[in-house]
Structure 1
């Protein structure tokens, strides 16, 4: 019989991390980021806990990763440690070990439960070129007045058709401000999307707009996640998934 591997001790501390994908690093895939993060953990000398088995892996749990090509200020993961560490020191060590554009924003002690369960919705900003805010607002009005809008997207399981409208909690159009150095006209969509299966993404919202009104057909768009966390059904806003951990740790 094959000799059984040594069982690893369970983590003595779990930390939850919020990080950002900015600039050109928004094109980093989830697989590329996970490799970069594991290298950063090693360079930073973080005392990671490891899984048991014949191929032990550092205890890192990812949740709610943004699609490749989207910038984000609200990406989350959880790590398990073999020793108790100061969250602020871990944040500084990891941030200095990651490339610019993959930036650690916050580290808190986990109070338990599932991190994924706290990520119920996302707020996105989508900058759309070659469209006026009036055209985009008219499309938004038609989309919100429609109960169901079916869109198609290629997934790992093949081409899937699903309702994009059901995930939209709120949606509005606004003018680009002076910080957007874009050629020609542009407008901005702000949308809160409820998470589900399959997950509705910013490009699905644009596809739904094109299906309903033709708005933005052929236009380039840049998406940025502004927030990700629990959905407040009373006002349709996205909360902070790390706030309970901060309260428990304090």
Structure 2
């Protein structure tokens, strides 16, 4: 029986602090994938001198976890990841150093020390802003009213295991045309509960076209404004890092 190999050298230093970080993905970098961001992030962490904690074993990797990333092609003001470090760091100083080390269109918005509980459990829903370019507000409002009157609005998307049909209507907590942008394009706001499979803004627009015939003349501009716990009445989402700030504040 072959002997099991063990890594040579001492084990990696233990993690002493877990941090939760909110960042924004803007401009052209909305087309970057989670893998693209992870590569840019690891380079930025090294440049910023962050004392990252690593896993043990033959192929150690930084202890970084990502939470519910936005689809490629959408901008976001509310992306999150967690990182463990081997020395305690000042969160404000880390935010500034990491923000400076990342490309300009990837902005580090906030760094907090993690409190009790898991971040993923707090990300219950997302608030989306969709600029429907080339669409008249009245036509969009009529389509939205017809969509909201339905009990189900299905769409089909292809996953790794093949195409899957699912309902987009039930997870939509709020859907309203809230005005127009400076160029006269209608603005649609969506609050969508996180489900499995996840219902994305493009899924809702595809279902909207299927049941009402409405289709944007050109691809819309989609931005996630926030994600977090559902507010009472399911009209919006709360800040998922508020609990962490309170926990750290109570310890001081």
Q: Same fold (TM over 0.5)?
A: yes
Number of corresponding residues? 245
Structure 1 moving runs of 4+ over 6 Å: none
- Decide whether the 8 Å contact of 1:128 with 1:216 is kept in 2: no
Shift in alpha-carbon separation, 1:98–1:204, aligned structure 2, 3 A: same
Alignment counterpart, residue 115 of structure 1, candidates 107, 116, 119: 119
Alpha-carbon spacing, 1:217–1:105, altered in 2? closer, same or farther (3 Å): closer
Q: TM-score, structure 1 length as denominator?
A: 0.94
- 1:143 aligned to 2:142? no
* 2:168 corresponds to: 164
Which of 80, 85, 100 is residue 84 of structure 2 equivalent to? 80
- Is 1:51 matched with 2:55? yes
Of residues 27, 32, 57, the one that matches 1:28 is: 32
My pick for the range that moved more, 214-223 or 74-83, is 214-223
* Distance (Å, rounded) in 2 between the aligned partners of 1:193 and 1:10: 38
Structure 1 gaps of 5+ residues are none
Does 2:137 correspond to 1:133? Answer: yes
Shift of 1:233: 4.0
Q: Shift of the alpha carbon at 1:212?
A: 1.5
Asked if structure 1 preserves the Cα contact closer than 8 Å seen for 2:131 and 2:181, the reply is no
Q: Deviation per CA, 1:17-61, whole angstroms, max 9, x where unpaired? A: 000000001011111001110111111100011111111111101
Larger mean Cα displacement after TM superposition, 43-52 or 149-158: 149-158
Distance 1:167 1:230 in 2: 14
CA distance in 2, matches of 1:10, 1:157: 38
Determine the C-alpha separation between the residues in 1 that align with 2:67 and 2:91.
19
Paired residue for 2:96, among 88, 92, 95?
92
2:5 to 3, 6, 30: 3
Structure 1 distance, partners of 2:212, 2:222, is 20
For 1:128 and 1:155, the matched residues in 2 are separated by 26
- For residues 157 and 86 of structure 1, the distance between their equivalents in structure 2, rounded to whole angstroms, comes to 44
Whether 1:153 and 2:173 are equivalent positions in the alignment is no
Superposition pairs of residues 138-217 of structure 1, within 5 angstroms: 138-178=142-182, 180=183, 186-216=185-215
- Give distance in 1, aligned partners of 2:124 and 2:83: 20
Shifted more, 73-82 versus 109-118: the winner is 109-118
State the TM-score, normalizing by the size of structure 2: 0.93
Alignment partner, residue 230 of structure 1: 229
CA displacement at 1:217 relative to structure 2: 5.0
**Residue deviations 1:144-197, cap 9 Å, x none?**
11010110112222211110111100000133232x4xxxx6211100000011
Equivalent pair of 1:133/1:174 in contact (CA under 8 Å): no
